Chain A
Amino acid sequence: MRIEVLAGPWLGRLSLSALPTDSPVAAGAALVAVLGALGVAGYITAKGRWGYLWREWFTSVDHKRIGIMYVVLALVMLARAVIEALVMRLQQADAINQSGFISAEHFGQLFSTHGSIMIFFMAMPFLTGVINYVMPLQIGARDVSFPVLNSISLMLTAAGAALVMISLVLAPFSTGGWSGYAPFTELRFSPGVGVDYWIWAVTLSSIGSTLTGINFAVTIYKKRAPGMHLFRMPLFCWTALCTSILMIFAMPALTVATALLALDRYLGMHFFTSGGGGNMMVYANLFWLFGHPEVYIVVLPSFGVFSELFSTFSAKKLYGYTSLVLATMTIAVLSFTVWLHHFFTMGQSAHINAAFGIATMLIGIPTGVKVYDWILTMFRGRVRFTTPLLWGLAFLVTFVIGGLSGILLAIPPVDFLVHNTTFLVAHFHNMLIPGTLFGMIAAYQFWFPKAFGFRLEERWGRVAFGCWVTGFYLAFMPLYVLGLEGMPRRSAEVFDEAFRPWLLLAAGGAVLIVLGMAALVLQLAMSIRHRDRNRVTVGDPWDGRSLEWSTSSPPPEYNFAEVPEVEGRDAFWTMKRSGRAYPALDRYAPILLPENSAIGPWLGVLGLATAFGLVWRIGWMAGLGTAGALFAVIGWSFVRRSGRTVGERQVERTETRWHAALVAAVPVSREHECDPRNRGLADVAA
């Protein structure tokens, strides 16, 4: 039963009937979301931490804090999306020749939110957060080029994520999938607000990502420390650069696609409608102009992370640096030439299909080069099986299987057979989970000690690893089989008894994955609890190779008391070997840093208000939000900022304290890397 309450015009279409009261699963999810939000807010209030959060975090423009906030956002969204994945897997295992425990409509929302969240609000914030944290440190910069813009990007992304979370309570969300294909998403077929939620959440995120891309690209071009030539940058910075370039040039396609879809829906125009001259193929074309580069946006930074891992944990130079750089750039450029492979089955000529199919396969070459380069990096190294490296090994073995299925899909006649089936679902999870997600989890475990000054517990990390990897194989390998048999993706129900064992296996895998997720949470909790045992304040727990390890952990807000001078690749590793690491300065200078700014959070709130107003047709809210944002930006441009100076005394105090820890620390050999003995000073003699 729905409770109908007459909504005043000032609330647009919004009424109490938006509450998901008709399905226990949906109502439960909404309740969890509300209670969770209230719980967090209540806890912060009880602790009296709002002021602290506002001053030190929300208004912060420090790339390190912004990076951490991005990662927190990504982890929260990951938790939601993984649970949704489990629900979908359970439903498909249950709904064989019967209805299952959730409705078809609800299932539609589940794969749409799961896909959209995983891509836009998990993968993107995660990689943006990691790049934010690590890249400026690696190139020897004190911050990104445009710190305030950085904060604005974060808050716009967060606003988009908030909108998706709100849709859990003021339902429903779209059922159009993460790709939102028209004309299904046109008003005529999706009259509710669901698609509007999707449009505005994605638009907020894509604006944020475009700005982020610009910011990172300029930072890498213009803010490198002296001597840090492009070809001396750690590979992670290269992948960050290529990802940024992809963001800059691919995001506009998404913005155009969603904007035109919105014009269709709001103003009755005819871009993608099936009448009035509209053409739905134009939508598919626009979406994949973005969508394909997007999958490389989310995987390239992971490639960068793995490059760092294999070299660090093999205690060896990265094999084939130049070919890795070349491969990365080739992938970035090629990824603009293959988008049609997502719609081989739309009916265009065979020679077009063939041309795009071949272009797609070409990407396999540089990717293969990377894979071999990583193996060769371990070759003749001294490999240490720490948790971050384990993710890397699992990635290598698993990713090539996904690559294989990708190549199969790139053959148009083969694609005709398995397009839109669970074979495709298996392929892309086979890329996204080992590629994007394992890379990001590895990055989190690798750089966590840098950000917080203590290591994560290895044991729980291994448990998480075991669950995730086993869970992955169980959950997704069966889907290849089912796909070859023609089981369509996005099926709320299944009508083939023979599929049952495979779907049960897949459900079991999903359960394991959720356990893996829980293990990650436990790992964090236990590590915080035992943080004193795992402190690595000196800053270099893994015998690191690049400049971020040359600072204390966590690094001071100004990153480097003196900007380092770089003389080659693996800058910090060389400094350590030649005894020039940790130079003692005889004189400290004051450092000018950007001041905190409230414009980011304000634009986030105003953006959210605009989006929410647009979703529910609350005119005044959307209008005020837009006007507010415009005036906020103009007003902000009138504020003269002189920056904030960290005095030389304070720099000296910070640096002296760190140097004291340095002197007190015992250099630890790799033998004791994961011991409490490791205080973050690497023994370079061995």
Chain B
Amino acid sequence: MAIFGGGSTRPSIQRGAQVQDTSTERHAKRTASRAGLAAMPTRAAIVAVAAGPVAAAERQLLVQAAVLMLFVVVPVIVLTPWVAWRFRRRNRRSAYRPGWDFSRLLEVLIWGVPALLVALLAVRVWTQSRALDPYRAIAPGQGSSAAPLDVQVVGLDWKWLFIYPDQHIATLDTLVLPVGRAVHLHLTSDTVMESLLVPRLAGQIYAMPGMITQLWLRADRPGDFPGENTQYNGSGFARQKFVVHAVDADAFSRWVGQVRAGGGVLDARRYRQVARRGVPAAPECFGQVDADLYGRIVAKYHASSQVHVSTMASRATGRMNDAH
């Protein structure tokens, strides 16, 4: 299994280079657990296929709307040169009506047809916006009846931290998911605004400090899918990439067990090191995570209000429980 290949770092990203503040980071990394790392997926050519229902539906919507639009756009692309050429000045055979400037029929058409199309699209927008609301729970895939997998996501400069609250493990810049199981991401940021995108699995949502946004997705086939931050956040931005490894359920539980056994500890101290600005030299896994870490990260931005801290923290953890 590729994801158990251990030791291999992504060859293509020269992580850590050119970005300051990373030397201690890199050092820490060397001693950390290396379970579950794999190379950045590389492709020979452009392929835009979805590997999960959310991305598939979004892509399908894109294609449908584009085709529909072509009905009004292609005529323009064809008519413009044709009319211009047909009525060129030299072409004395074509009619010349310098005073002609109105036709009721045409008027109805040029307002009516686009209006009709927009009406059609509007219906789709209304229904699909709701259906594909990132906060909306999605069903498990065929043959999988497991409860959704919760993952808490923390956007950092310039890396992503994923906490599996029920498995009590965490990963940095790598996300391992069981195929067919619905995944419920809870996103926040411990720096500026970021945006998480895994193009082949689901569209993006912002992650913002002190707030929690949600995103549901599901991988329907095993594979390695690139993920990234798309909201500019400084000089390491372009290197803030990670890989989603979709594996079957058994492999997933084996992986969890392996990380639990071999991964390092993510406590407050270690978190502070991880959160420091920089691009990590390699992905990393943690076999043990402070239970309230995520809640504290969120609550931190409400720190000056004592009442708020506790409610935010409890809400952040509380929501996890509600989800089940």
Interface residues of A (CB under 8 A from B): 97-99, 103-105, 108, 175-177, 181, 183-184, 189, 274-277, 280-281, 314-321, 323, 343, 345-347, 349-351, 353-354, 357-358, 361-362, 364-365, 368-369, 371-373, 375-376, 378-385, 393, 396-397, 400-401, 403-404, 407-408, 410-421, 481, 484-486, 488-499, 502, 670
Contacts and interface: CB of A to CB of B under 8 A. Distances in A.
Contacts of B79: 375
B96 to A, nearest CB: 6
A415 B12 CA distance: 29
Nearest to A370: B110
**Which 8 A-B residue pairs are closest in the complex by CB-CB distance?**
A416-B203, A486-B199, A420-B230, A354-B129, A413-B132, A350-B133, A274-B209, A104-B235
A414 B14 CA distance: 32
B231 A315 contact: no
A277 B235 CA distance: 27
A368 B211 CA distance: 40
Given A181-B193, A361-B125, A416-B132, 5 more contacts: A315-B89, A316-B100, A317-B99, A382-B89, A499-B46
Interface string B26-66: 00000000000000101111101000000101110110011
A361 B62 contact: no
A349 B130 CA distance: 8
B142 interface: no
Interface string B76-98: 11011101110111000011111
A494 B95 CA distance: 55
B102 A414 contact: no
B147 interface: no
A503 to B, nearest CB: 12
Contact of B129 (A97, A381, A412, A502): A412
Contacts of A407: 65, 69, 121
Looking at B203, B232, B233, which has the most chain A CB atoms within 10 Å of its CB?
B232
Given A281-B208, A376-B106, A412-B129, A345 B46 contact: no
B125 A411 contact: yes
A411 B61 contact: yes
A146 B106 CA distance: 42
Contacts of A321: 101
B12 A416 contact: no
Interface stretch (B160-168, B236-244, B264-272): B236-244
B110 A368 contact: yes
Nearest to A369: B110
A319 to B, nearest CB: 5
A358 B59 CA distance: 19
Interface in B100-153: 100-102, 106-107, 110-111, 113-115, 118, 121-122, 124-126, 128-136
B14 A361 contact: no
Contacts of B101: 316-321
A400 B77 contact: yes
Interface residues of B, number: 102
Given A396-B76, A408-B66, A411-B121, A488 B238 contact: yes
Contact of A397 (B80, B205, B305): B80
A20 to B, nearest CB: 16
B293 interface: no
A545 B252 CA distance: 74
B84 A99 contact: no
A345 B235 contact: no
A496 B44 CA distance: 9
Contact of B110 (A175, A372, A378, A497): A372
B255 interface: no
A342 B239 CA distance: 24
A430 B65 CA distance: 18
Interface of B: 12-14, 17-19, 40, 42-46, 48, 55, 57-59, 61-62, 65-66, 69-70, 72-73, 76-77, 79-81, 83-85, 87-89, 94-102, 106-107, 110-111, 113-115, 118, 121-122, 124-126, 128-136, 191-193, 195, 197, 199, 202-206, 208-211, 213-214, 226, 228-239, 241, 301, 303-305
Contacts of A314: 87
B114 A368 contact: yes
Contact of B80 (A358, A393, A497): A393
Interface of B is mostly: mixed
A121 to B, nearest CB: 21
5 contacts: A379-B83, A379-B87, A383-B85, A413-B129, A414-B58
B128 A413 contact: yes
Contacts of B44: 497-498
Contacts of B206: 343, 345-347
B89 A670 contact: yes
B73 A345 contact: no
Nearest to A577: B98
Contacts of A104: 18-19, 235-238
Given A104-B18, A407-B65, A396 B80 contact: yes
Contacts of A345: 134, 195, 203-206
Contacts of B46: 481, 485, 498-499, 502
Contacts of B43: 496-498
B97 A189 contact: no
Nearest to A492: B238
Contacts of A499: 46
Nearest to B19: A104
A411 B237 contact: no
A361 to B, nearest CB: 5
Contact of A420 (B62, B76, B110, B231): B231
A105 B237 CA distance: 10
A577 to B, nearest CB: 9
A306 to B, nearest CB: 12
Nearest to A396: B80
B234 A108 contact: yes
Contact of A497 (B42, B132, B134, B197): B42
Contacts of B42: 496-498
A175 B192 CA distance: 14
A494 B238 contact: yes
Contact of A184 (B55, B132, B192): B192
A383 B58 CA distance: 43
Contacts of A183: 192-193, 209
A489 to B, nearest CB: 7
Given A380-B97, A412-B125, A420-B231, A495 B65 contact: no
B59 A417 contact: yes
Looking at B73, B84, B88, B199, which has the most chain A CB atoms within 10 Å of its CB?
B84
A420 B213 contact: no
A281 B239 CA distance: 25
Contact of B239 (A184, A379, A489, A493): A493
B65 to A, nearest CB: 6
Contacts of B199: 417, 484-486
A569 to B, nearest CB: 9
Given A316-B97, A361-B118, A401 B102 contact: no
Contacts of A380: 87, 94-97, 100
A420 B118 CA distance: 24
Contacts of B135: 347, 350
A480 B228 CA distance: 18
A390 B31 CA distance: 65
Contacts of B102: 319-320
Given A379-B87, A415-B203, A490-B237, A315 B98 contact: yes
Nearest to B62: A414
A424 B84 CA distance: 31
Given A184-B233, A314-B87, A498-B44, A364 B114 contact: yes
Contacts of B99: 316-317
Contacts of A382: 87-89, 96
A341 B23 CA distance: 41
A488 B228 contact: yes
Contacts of B124: 411
Given A383-B89, A407-B65, A670-B89, A491 B208 contact: no
A232 to B, nearest CB: 14
